[in-house]
Chain A
């Protein structure tokens, strides 16, 4: 029989929105979260906000993690949150990581990015945050 609800792995969509071509960090995080017991769906590079929102909807994920290094975060991240919410995915946790200046963090949080993880964040910290803040279902 299937496991009880508490044993159900948390589903995470990891995406690289925008045009930057470096996904080593996202892949390391995908691997690290796998080792922490998460089910990680990795969509690869150069995703438009629409692609990310569509994938989040079809995959019914608990968490959307966005890795962005290009500097376009103030354009792309609010748009992704907006599209995700427009699909009625109100309880999906959206978090970001990458190169995001401290000065932008407050504005991103104001539009619904729950947390921003900068360089030096450990995988354990991300995993703990996701476990503490991802929706609980059942």
Chain B
């Protein structure tokens, strides 16, 4: 296998097969720590845009429409589209790509489907690594589309810089809008399927309920937009709102994001090192025999 530096250079130069294989290696966990670091070191600080929302709200179709807008601006767009793995068989059906086929053949668009492989927060464990690789390859923005999210699959908010929550009309009354969870982490809220009855009313209700946030909530109320992804209506406005969110990025927000990346890398490296270390089997056996508790075991392995 070629050296990682060579692979990154080829991926940046536009070799899509090399990039695709690199994504596979990241997904399968076959790269060593320094190599993972090199992927991030090669990054260009691409805008990571998360797109989340309930199944069938139109996330993939909206991403497809956003790609059209961004391509019109001359930007190269990377997409990681996550769909759920079966908890029973480990299999998955990934169908997000169906909605994005109009961009097939465009060298400025790279779409990769990813199965969640047992992770529960709406992403796969390696999604952050594959997003980093698309950044390194020169794609900006990098869109991460989550599995169809219910109310608490909020991992995307710790990973993406701008989180877009997509709702559809008739998804519930105002009480749904004030429940804790997904809507709280939104930087931009979209009511998609704007051509359906009730879309404007849903948007008004969301605006009204979210504008009353106070107490310990420091962040401003997110903009609420209406789009019709199938026609493209409202999509340019959404792209503007996403860009405006990045333009308003604060040093504090950068620090929070950096802390999250370090936390993930730390967990990754600490576990890999401990598992590869000389005392792993012995320590696990001690916990199995109840001679050692798991926290004492972790401390011993970290020392």
Contact = CB atoms under 8 A, between A and B. Distances in A.
A30 B93 contact: yes
B104 A50 contact: yes
Interface in A46-88: 47-48, 50-51, 54-55, 57-60, 87-88
B101 A51 contact: yes
Contacts of A8: 28
A44 B272 contact: no
Nearest to B118: A3
Size bin of chain A's contact surface:
35 or more
Contacts, number: 99
B105 interface: yes
Interface stretch (B44-52, B83-91, B240-248): B83-91
A42 interface: yes
A12 B97 CA distance: 13
B91 A40 contact: yes
B93 A40 contact: yes
A58 B110 contact: yes
Size bin of chain B's contact surface:
20 to 34
Interface in B65-111: 85-86, 89-95, 97-98, 101, 104-105, 110-111
Interface stretch (A31-39, A95-103, A105-113, A114-122): A31-39
Contacts of B111: 58
A41 interface: yes
20 contacts: A2-B29, A2-B125, A3-B29, A9-B90, A36-B91, A37-B89, A39-B85, A39-B115, A40-B92, A40-B93, A41-B97, A42-B93, A43-B97, A44-B95, A44-B101, A51-B105, A54-B104, A57-B20, A58-B110, A88-B17
Interface of B: 16-17, 20-21, 23-24, 28-30, 85-86, 89-95, 97-98, 101, 104-105, 110-113, 115, 117, 125-126, 271-272, 275
Interface of A: 1-3, 5, 7-9, 30-31, 33-44, 47-48, 50-51, 54-55, 57-60, 87-89, 137-138
